[in-house]
Structure 1
Amino acid sequence: RSLGLQLIHFLYIVHLLESSNHLHLKILSPPAPASTLRSNSCACRSPKPGEVSLIPAAIRAALAGEDFPITRGEQRRDFIFVGDVVEGFLAAAAAPDVDGESLDLGTGQAYAVREVVERIWAMAKATGRIRAGALPYRPGEVMYLAADADRTARLTGWRAEIGLDEGLRQTIEWIRGKPNPAT
């Protein structure tokens, strides 16, 4: 089973790369402006139905006073605020020299997953426990993922402006303001 999941993960990554290459070939024949933008870990809903990404799931558990199971949380991710992702897309669309480029939208700084969840717990004054180590790592888990923010800044003039703590604070307040923040 583990080997099968690793193969599926590998094929998924190959599919993403090939889709990007195919898009560029189609759009650039005949030549037309096109770029690929990849946002890193964003505090938003997962594209998979029924699955929520780490930050909103952790915030909801913290606000509900629930325990929150995670892996050991050693994997490091470059978390970017959703407003910065929008600004990054707008900057890339307006930049004159990005045609045919693949750009990362992120901060360039990676944080340990456990550290991020601990920050959420402190900010939300959570009463539940962070159950680090309660979940296994996914097969083929990428342990470090950060954007090449300097390259994106050189080509577009754009950099993410909202730091991790401010982004978490805004996201906690937004979720807290929902009629039923635990759902």
Structure 2
Amino acid sequence: MDRASAAHDVLTLDTYASTRRESIGMRPLLDFGRWISKLDIPPHVLSHSSIRKMEDDAIDMFSLTNDLYSYRKEILAHDAHHNFITVAMQDLSSGIPAGDHQAAIDYTCVRFSEILNDFRRLSGKLPSFGADMDTQVQRYIAVMTDLVVGNIRWSLACRRYGHSDTWTDTKTGDVMFDLN
């Protein structure tokens, strides 16, 4: 699904998340992160259900933060149709009233926290793949984490989304959105 067709489709949060997971381009970043970190994790380890779920969680966190920090720019450009915040206001299952931007932003932040907690839970419950492989898997988890954190830092520091001047609190990460 591309952004142009998304403007006319009514998405649910679930269909949006599964589509976004494959369209944001993070899977190649995960491959690149393993390569640049010189990780040699065999397919049978990478295909373990917990690792696959952690990859999906990392991609979802990356997507949510991208949607959160790009929302202001997209709203001002009348191009926020393919954004989790917009979809949350349209999907009745979220319980968010249409047009309640703050509730949708809060919902996005809560969803991010839930996914982060799942990522951490899975990280703590991985089976052993052998001492050397366990070390590589932990390094891969660090790669996934670094990609998410790096996206947040980049989104706040660069001028692309207009937050470099509005990031008011570097300790809490509070960002003021002026949607006008």
TM-score (norm 2): 0.31
More strand per residue: 1
More helix per residue: 2
Larger Rg: 1
TM-score (norm 1): 0.31
